[in-house]
Amino acid sequence: MFTELISISIIVSTTAIAVVAFFIAKKWKKLGAEAVAALQTAKLDADEAKANLESAKIHGCIDRTRRRQVEAVFDVLRDSVLVVDAHGEILHANGCAEGLLFVAPSEAAGMPLADVVIDHQLVSTISDARCGLPKEGRQYEQEIQVGGETVAYEVHLQSVGHKDEAMHAVVTVLRDLSREREIARLKSDFVSKASHELRTPLSSISAYIEMLVDGDAADETARQEFYAVISTETVRLQRMINNLLNISQIEAGLMHIDRERVEFGELVERAVRNMTPQAHAKSLDIHTELASVDLAVKGDSDMLYQVVVNLLSNAIKYTPEGGRVTLSADAENLTHSLHFSVSDTGLGIAPDQTEKVFDKFYRVENYRRVAQGTGLGLNLCRHIVETLHSGQIGVESQLGMGSKFWISIPVGECSVKLAA
Amino acid sequence: METKTHKILIVDDEAHILQVLSLKLRNCGYETTTAVDGKDALRQALTDTPDLIISDVQMPYMNGLELSNELSVNAKTAHIPVVILTARGHTLECSDTDIPNIKKVLGKPFSPRGVAELVAELLIDVPASSTCNSEAA
């Protein structure tokens, strides 16, 4: 009886009680040999139980650590993860799943699925999946209401458990497709805009060719005019295609640039020389202000020349006859950068349009009727300056008062020479 | 000798398109006027009622669909047939062009010859409104 009591105590209260009882009994010497032997056996049992308990503690600790590690992995994922046990209770919901739940993810564990997940269809799908899924799981797309917005998700369900078991645990991974959908929409918009812009010169070319074929040109002068339009529009089409290819190559990170020491002052003077005929045709005054410092930068000479020509060409196009265009370049030792700007006394740009002028295919409304453009030149300039040369491009403008387009480019290794 | 001819308003912000269509339609015996945006076209349509309007869609200030809408709700211009000529044909929904006065939507690139044939077809029962001088044959 006493032995049984001791043994029960061992099981209930660990070995400490057994050990104490054994020593007390030995000291009092009131117990018979049988009782002492029973107590000794009990002590051995207690030692084993103690060892087992220690082992269980260690295993429990390992399990908790492993579980925390697995949860930590779920929590760093950018996808929402819901783990539901075979009874339909949440085992874990990661941080990303917050928008899908009535409660905070940290409070979801142990709660029934239907009390936690907002979307009824998702609840039903996960509940059904507990009956088992094919080995490869189940994947589908679903739109789910998250915070008042409809978000498209790719839902991947995987059941976890033995095939003979009636109910399984289910791991659900939900990937937000918003970004992919947005990229697809942007791509589609781009193709649509590009197609529209390419069709415009193409329309002129095909229409004038048909007019020539149909004999709609009254005389040789008219025919020469038609040829000139076809030629001009072909050049425009070619320029658009080149710009589009350059922009897409830069955006894809495929554009190779030759970095060399570029004498920016010389580059500006060359651009002015080449554009002077167009400026003279409109009686524009081209004024150049180049600071008498070293205006060298480390960059791609052809690309930077294209930027200068684009900005100068725009200023000439959109400045009325008799106006003035000023090109300025200066180097700043403090920031080791080169500043270049093209100011004009042209049409100017409304404040709500200044941010958009560098967007692909954007054309300022009041510019359309003044001159043709591809809507790509400034976008290409931005890519050349910002993506390829780590610089900045911007515009200051006032409607009817002219515009000032500016760029700022780090001088690169040339800064040493500048500082000296 | 005075004869009646149809008057056509061509609306596009591309100068070459205005030029080529004007020439083609003049060669076919029509009188043409041009506008470079929707607002300009609406003003002209209200003051100088044309028999038919050919309009681009994407234009500054007022696009071709907005123009068609404005024309369709004005008693003075609601009867004028409109032909839409657009490079955005593939992105236009049927509902976009579901305006009573829009008779046809043509895509760019277009055939001036085809446009002239369509104009003749649309104006076959429309009495010519403009008077012009022409030499007797």
pLDDT in tens, chain A (420 residues): 444 444 444 444 444 445 555 555 555 555 567 776 777 787 788 788 877 887 777 777 777 788 788 778 888 888 999 999 988 899 989 988 888 888 898 888 899 989 999 888 899 999 888 887 787 888 999 998 887 788 999 999 988 877 777 788 899 999 999 888 888 888 887 787 788 888 888 999 999 999 999 999 889 999 999 999 999 899 889 888 888 888 888 888 888 787 889 999 999 999 999 889 889 988 999 999 998 888 889 999 888 999 999 999 999 988 988 999 999 999 887 778 999 999 999 888 888 888 888 988 777 766 766 666 667 889 999 999 999 999 999 999 988 889 999 999 998 755 433 333
CB-closest option in A195, A229, A368 to B13: A368
Phi, psi of A346 (to 5 degrees): -90, -150
Average pLDDT over residues B113-133: 86
Number of helices and strands in chain A (H, E): 13, 12
Nearest chain B residue to A205 by CA distance is B109
A119 has a chain B CB within 8 A of its CB: no
Superfamily of domain A77-176: PAS domain (3.30.450.20)
Domain assignment present for residue B63? The answer is yes
pLDDT score at B132: 63
Structurally, at CATH architecture level, domain A181-251 sits in Orthogonal Bundle (1.10)
Q: Assign residue A134 a region: left if phi > 0, alpha if psi is -120 to 50, beta otherwise?
A: beta
- In terms of Cβ atoms closer than 10 Å to its own Cβ (0-12, 13-18, 19+), residue B67 is buried
Nearest chain A residue to B37 by CA distance is A369
The alpha-carbon gap from B114 to the nearest alpha carbon of chain A, in Å, equals 10
Residue of A183, A187, A191, A131 lying closest to A157 (CA atoms): A131
Evaluate the omega torsion of the peptide bond into residue B112 and state whether it is cis, within 30 degrees of 0.
no
A233 has a chain B CB within 8 A of its CB: yes
Domain assignment present for residue B76? The answer is yes
CATH at B113: 3.40.50.2300
Global pTM?
0.63
pLDDT score at B125: 85
Average pLDDT over residues B60-73: 91
**Domain range for B30:** 2-124
Domain range summary for chain A, segments of one domain joined by +: 2-71, 77-176, 181-251, 260-419
pLDDT score at A372: 66
Number of Cα atoms under 13 Å in the Cβ half of residue A35: 15
Only one residue has tokens 């209200």, namely: B46
Interface test with B, best of A190, A209, A211, A363 (most B CBs within 10 A): A211
Residues 6+ apart with CB under 8 A from A145: A118, A119, A151
pLDDT score at B131: 67
Residues 6+ apart with CB under 8 A from A33: none
Domain assignment present for residue B117? The answer is yes
For residues A211 and B112, the answer to whether their CB atoms sit within 8 Å is yes
Domain assignment present for residue B26? The answer is yes
Domain assignment present for residue B89? The answer is yes
Average pLDDT over residues B26-36: 94
Residue of A374, A380, A391 lying closest to A358 (CA atoms): A380
Domain assignment present for residue B30? The answer is yes
Interface test with A, best of B23, B61, B117 (most A CBs within 10 A): B23
- A307 three-state secondary structure: helix
Domain assignment present for residue B20? The answer is yes
CA distance A117 to A156: 16
Nearest chain B residue to A202 by CA distance is B109
pLDDT score at A1: 44
Residue B80 in this model has a pLDDT that exceeds 90 = yes
Length of chain A as a residue count: 420
Residues 96-125 of B with CB under 8 A from A: 108-113
For residues A22 and A39, the answer to whether their CB atoms sit within 8 Å is yes
CA A16, A19, A22, A23: dihedral to nearest 10 degrees? -110
Domain assignment present for residue B134? The answer is no
B26 has a chain A CB within 8 A of its CB: no
Average pLDDT over residues B108-131: 89
Structurally, at CATH architecture level, domain A260-419 sits in 2-Layer Sandwich (3.30)
pLDDT score at B26: 95
